Every structure is written in structure tokens, then in C-alpha cells.
């Protein structure tokens, strides 16, 4: 069966520091991969999605970036974090068929001080 791993679970970072969140999927090949952010008490904001290695689509302009160096690895990065980057970051995967649902990792709770 397919599983998705996301780490770390929680992170506290100072403003201006870099960020790297990693997500890996097991048990499937060529998944669609997604990064979402959820602010406290709010909905899911789609940040990036990827349909293949090296293919990244950005949904919102911001100081975050994403990379997909391997088929089942998706990384969210920032060179300099802002206070507004605080939130719950969720990685998700979906099969190639667009009629399939997305499945989420456990999430990373990021606090910027």
C-alpha cells in the first residue's frame, strides 16, 4: 500500500532563517505531489504541485520554492522565512488519474519567531 512521510512534525524557526521540509511517498510511482499551507482556523492554500521530476507549478507568489529531485520526493524550501510563513504545511500525493483523491502526510507545524 502507499504511504506518505513528511518531516519534521514541528519546527520553530527565527525570522530570516532558511527552511527545508521534505516529503516522500512509498508504494507508487509517478505520483502527483502537492504542498499546501493551512493557517490557524483557515482552509488549505495550494502552494505548489508537481506532475513529474523537475516539474513544479507555483500557485502563489511568495518567498517559498519547491523542488522534486526524485520521483517520490518533494521538498519545500525558503531562503529567508517571514513571520507570515507560520502555519501547518501539508504534503499530499495523488495517482496520475485526476479522478483519484489526494492523500495527506501528517503535516509540519511551523512557527516563526
Contacting another protein within 21-80 (CB under 8 A): 34, 36, 42-44, 46, 49
Smallest separation (angstroms) from another protein to the CB of 40: 10
Grid cell, residue 11, equals 519546527
| Cβ pair 18, 81 in contact under 8 A | yes
Contacting another protein within 76-105 (CB under 8 A): 88, 90, 94, 98-105
Site for another protein contains 5 (CB under 8 A): no
Smallest separation (angstroms) from another protein to the CB of 48: 11
Count of Cβ atoms closer than 10 Å to residue 14 Cβ: 8
CA torsion sign for 73, 54, 37, 101 is negative
Smallest separation (angstroms) from another protein to the CB of 43: 3
Site for another protein contains 7 (CB under 8 A): no
C-alpha torsion angle, residues 101, 84, 107, 111 (rounded to 10): -170
Closer to another protein by Cβ: residue 26 or 106: 106
Q: What is the C-alpha to C-alpha distance for residues 6 and 67, in angstroms, rounded to an integer? A: 15
Judged by the rule CB under 8 A, the positions of this chain that interact with another protein are: 34, 36, 42-44, 46, 49, 88, 90, 94, 98-107, 109
Amino acid at each position: 500500500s502507499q504511504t506518505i512521510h513528511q518531516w519534521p512534525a514541528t519546527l520553530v524557526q527565527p525570522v530570516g532563517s532558511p527552511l527545508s521540509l521534505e516529503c516522500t511517498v512509498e508504494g507508487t510511482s509517478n505520483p502527483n505531489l502537492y504542498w499546501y499551507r493551512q493557517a490557524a482556523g483557515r482552509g488549505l492554500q495550494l502552494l505548489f504541485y508537481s506532475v513529474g521530476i523537475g516539474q513544479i507549478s507555483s500557485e502563489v507568489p511568495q518567498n517559498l520554492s519547491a523542488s522534486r529531485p526524485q520521483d517520490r520526493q518533494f521538498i519545500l524550501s525558503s531562503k529567508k522565512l517571514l513571520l507570515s510563513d507560520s502555519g501547518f504545511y501539508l504534503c499530499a500525493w495523488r495517482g496520475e488519474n485526476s479522478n483519484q483523491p489526494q492523500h495527506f502526510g501528517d503535516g509540519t507545524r511551523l512557527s516563526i519567531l
